[in-house]
Structure formats: structure tokens, C-alpha cells
């Protein structure tokens, strides 16, 4: 804890930057940044209160920092079910998660990273083996669009994208129809 006191003193009293403080105390710039962030997160200012000794400082910093770093995990199973619905991406359930958990929610990029890690650990089912070129998988994907027959005014629906994939290969054919 002696280092954090020195970091605070050099930062607030001497007005040194993080690089200069790191050189003076023979610690990394990252450690200096961590100490300053811990102090800021725990509401510490300079000069430290008279009654704050190293033991109280350590207790204050360690307890509050552990509390503040407890970000709430999303419910990955629910997210996984939502992603099975049409036109749903990870971007859709994230704002709901962020508003429910407010200040304790992960940022979007980390949320996506955590979900991908969770999904990779899930047991895969119905593994199928395909000989290259033996089967052609065909699907019409995308939203349907309305087509109006000019003569009769009749409204019909049509698929927009036709996709074909050769099993066990990296060849894909897609065409807008």
C-alpha cells in the first residue's frame, strides 16, 4: 500500500504524469494507472484524511474494488433461444440486458465475447458428416417481398435470396431472385 500512497502524492502534489511516476517508483505505467483508477473508484482524494493509515487505505481500496468489479452475467440460455428467432442478432437482446442491470452490465463487445465463449462450450448435437459434392443444400432465405401483378392487381409473395451450398465444401452460391 505504500506504493499507492506514493503514486497519489506524486500525481496530486507534484503533478507528474503516469510515465514519470512509473519511472520514479520503478513500477509499470499500467500499475500507476490501476492505482489511480482504484483511488478514483473509491473516492480517495489528496491529501488523504488524517485518520487514514495504510491498513484503512488497504481495506477501503480492496473491499470497494471487489464490490465494483462484480458485473452481472447475462442469461446465456435465454439469449441462445432468442437468436433462433428470425432476424435476431446479439445486438437485439443486449439493450434489454443493459437496462435491466444498469451500471453492472458488460459493454456490448465484451457481452458478445462472453456469449461466444459460452456457446463454444455447449454440447453440439446431431453432428452430420457429408461427402464433398454428394449433396446440395438449397434454401430460400431472407424476408419475403410483395409482388403486384400489373394486369390483375393481385398481390403475391416471393423470396428474395436463393442460396445453395455444397456439403463438406466451402462453395456457396447465392442469387437474388
Against a cut of 0.75, is the pTM above it? no
Between CA 37 and CA 43 the distance in angstroms is 10
Question: Residue 56 is placed in which grid cell?
Answer: 484503512
Between CA 48 and CA 137 the distance in angstroms is 69
Fold of the domain spanning 2-68: Arc Repressor Mutant, subunit A (1.10.10)
Output the pLDDT for position 19. Answer: 92
pLDDT tens figures, 119-160 = 888 877 777 777 777 888 888 877 777 888 889 989 888 777
Between CA 30 and CA 34 the distance in angstroms is 6
Q: If you average pLDDT over residues 94-102, what whole number do you get?
A: 88
For residue 69, what pLDDT band results from cuts at 50, 70 and 90? low
Output the pLDDT for position 61. Answer: 66
Res. 66: pLDDT tops 50? no
Distance from chain centroid for Cα 150? 49
Res. 63: pLDDT tops 50? no
Tell the residue number behind the cell numbers 473509491, with chain if given.
Answer: 42
State the pairing for strand pair 136-148/155-166.
antiparallel
pLDDT tens figures, 109-121 = 999 999 999 888 8
Are the CB atoms for 79 and 114 separated by under 8 Å?
no
Higher pLDDT, 70 or 9: 9
Amino acid at each position: 500500500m505504500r506504493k499507492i500512497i506514493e503514486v497519489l502524492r506524486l500525481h496530486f502534489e507534484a503533478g507528474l504524469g503516469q510515465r514519470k511516476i512509473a519511472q520514479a517508483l520503478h513500477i509499470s505505467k499500467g500499475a500507476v494507472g490501476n492505482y489511480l483508477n482504484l483511488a478514483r473508484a473509491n473516492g480517495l482524494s489528496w491529501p488523504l484524511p488524517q485518520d487514514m493509515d495504510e491498513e484503512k487505505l488497504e481495506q477501503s481500496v480492496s473491499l470497494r474494488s471487489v464490490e465494483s468489479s462484480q458485473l452481472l452475467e447475462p442469461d446465456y440460455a435465454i439469449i441462445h433461444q432468442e437468436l433462433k428467432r428470425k432476424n435476431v442478432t446479439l445486438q437485439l437482446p443486449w439493450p434489454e440486458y443493459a437496462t435491466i442491470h444498469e451500471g453492472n452490465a458488460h459493454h456490448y463487445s465484451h457481452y458478445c465475447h462472453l456469449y461466444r465463449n459460452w456457446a463454444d462450450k455447449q454440447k453440439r448435437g446431431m453432428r452430420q458428416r457429408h461427402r464433398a459434392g454428394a449433396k446440395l443444400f438449397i434454401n430460400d432465405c431472407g424476408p419475403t417481398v410483395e409482388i403486384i401483378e400489373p394486369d390483375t392487381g393481385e398481390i403475391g409473395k416471393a423470396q428474395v435470396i436463393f442460396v445453395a451450398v455444397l456439403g463438406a465444401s466451402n462453395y456457396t452460391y447465392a442469387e437474388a431472385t
